[in-house]
Amino acid sequence: MESKYDLPEVTKPFPLQKRVELFKNKVEAALFFFARAYNFYLCRWYT
């Protein structure tokens, strides 16, 4: 009996280009989030 995770999309490896694209998006989102959080922290701390 197959589990719901035994799908071709999951077992099939990502193409390198797609992986790099996803990685870039994640890094960009993380940097944006940390920049906003840091900016918010500084504004609250120094005003």
Provide the residue ranges of all domains of the chain, joining segments of one domain with +. Answer: 14-46
Higher-scoring residue by pLDDT: 28, 16: 28
How high is the pLDDT of residue 45?
Answer: 75
Say how far apart CA 37 and CA 31 lie, in whole Å. Answer: 10
* Residue 15 per-residue DSSP state: P
Confidence of residue 23 (pLDDT cuts 50, 70, 90): very high
User: Which residues have a Cβ under 8 Å from the Cβ of 22 and sit 6 or more positions away?
Assistant: 14
Average pLDDT over residues 5-17: 65
pTM to 2 decimals?
0.49
Tokens of 47: 């005003």
